[in-house]
Copies of this chain bind each other. A is one copy, B any other.
Amino acid sequence: MSTRFSTDAVLAQFEKIELVQQQRARLQDTQITLSHGSGGKATHNLIQALFADAFANPLLDQLDDGAVFDVNGARLAFTTDSYVVNPIFFAGGDIGELAVNGTVNDLAMCGATPLFLSAGFILEEGFSMDDLARIVRSMARAAERAGVKIVTGDTKVVHRNKADKIFINTAGVGVITRDVSLSASNARAGDKIILSGSIGDHGVTILAARGELELEGDFSSDTAPLNDLVETMLNVTTEIRCLKDPTRGGVATSLNEIAKAAGVTMAIDERAIPVRAEVRGACEILGIDPLYIANEGKLLAVVPSNCADEIVNAMRAHPLGRDARVIGQVWAEPKGLVFLQTQIGGNRVVDMLVGDPLPRIC
């Protein structure tokens, strides 16, 4: 695939992007905007300019999906996410299932076996007790499916119109028992990029549930716990370089994160990326590239070239990896960019998500 890209075009784009990157560390906004929660560029600016500086420590600096550390000989992973999805119930799931699966997946992306979750609820006065009960039962089912226990929690209530129904934070602790080192910074030239299945399903489902689409279609969130799929992959080889679940900001943003962390180019082939017909149709109507849409049950893996086929085959034997495939490869240069070979044979730089076309997607 690499030979299809024109080096000149690549470098021209590269210089332009470099300038943009130099401007990234500065935080010029005086107020929080929706794009600061997009998971895309504004979120990264905020993290870099504010959090990374104030909380500076080697674990946080990795900026992976979770922190990995040793405690008395046990190698642990620790991660957190808050869920503010609107609406709270949608085809294929709800905010509770999302909150469990999302944190399970962040632990899995660290190569950890998820063990224990916390659950922090912020409830709006007047929220339906029946809806809360339904969400709590959904969390319990999701926890059972993923093999984790919800062991500690907290409930706060705020006045009407000071929150929106329910926000849930989950944090998770997992244990890493294998000799793995999964980090975005590990990607290296020659590696293959694997995607576990079709993209865009979760984000489009949420938009459809909001009534923002006039489309009728078979939309359903892909929310699922990926820890068993990761287990299957690590059973093939512990040489996997990195895993990422492309949630907010989508595949495009996750690939950019890897490219920047490792100082490589992530070169992908648009034709290799599965997008369901209904999702593609919805994206065309919305004018949003499915590469930027959140997924909640998919993963990207960067793997050594010689293991790629075996890993893909193992994934395809798993219910959550049936559509797994190699979608591209890693180049040494230029550093920090994502290149897409388009459907029509052209190629372009794919940046992180800018702005937030899809607020409160998770």
Residues of chain A at the chain B interface (Cβ within 8 Å): 27, 29-38, 43, 46-47, 50-51, 54-55, 57, 59-60, 66-67, 69, 71-76, 78-84, 115-116, 118-130, 132-133, 136-137, 139-140, 143, 149-159, 161-164, 167, 169, 171, 173, 175, 177, 356, 359-360
Contacts and interface: CB of A to CB of B under 8 A. Distances in A.
B155 A118 contact: no
A166 B360 CA distance: 16
Contacts of A139: 54-55
A74 B177 CA distance: 13
Nearest to A158: B84
Given A27-B129, A67-B151, A128-B31, A78 B120 contact: no
B153 A71 contact: no
B173 A76 contact: yes
With most chain B CB atoms within 10 A of its CB, the pick from A46, A69, A122, A152 is A152
A269 B175 CA distance: 46
Contacts of A126: 31-33
Oligomer copy total = 2
A72 B74 contact: yes
A43 B125 CA distance: 13
Given A150-B55, A173-B71, A157 B34 contact: yes
A96 to B, nearest CB: 10
A78 B151 contact: yes
A158 B122 contact: no
A2 B96 CA distance: 48
A37 B175 contact: no
Given A71-B74, A115-B71, A157-B34, A60 B151 contact: yes
Nearest to A28: B129
Contacts of A119: 51, 55, 80
Given A67-B151, A136-B51, A124 B32 contact: yes
Contact of A78 (B118, B123, B158): B118
Contacts of A140: 54-55
Contact of A116 (B31, B67, B156): B67
B73 A73 contact: yes
**8 closest A-B pairs (Cβ-Cβ)?**
A37-B157, A171-B171, A80-B118, A67-B151, A72-B74, A169-B169, A74-B74, A59-B151
Contacts of A127: 31-32
Given A55-B140, A120-B120, A173-B173, 12 more contacts: A31-B127, A31-B128, A34-B125, A36-B157, A60-B153, A69-B116, A71-B175, A80-B118, A80-B171, A118-B171, A154-B169, A156-B360
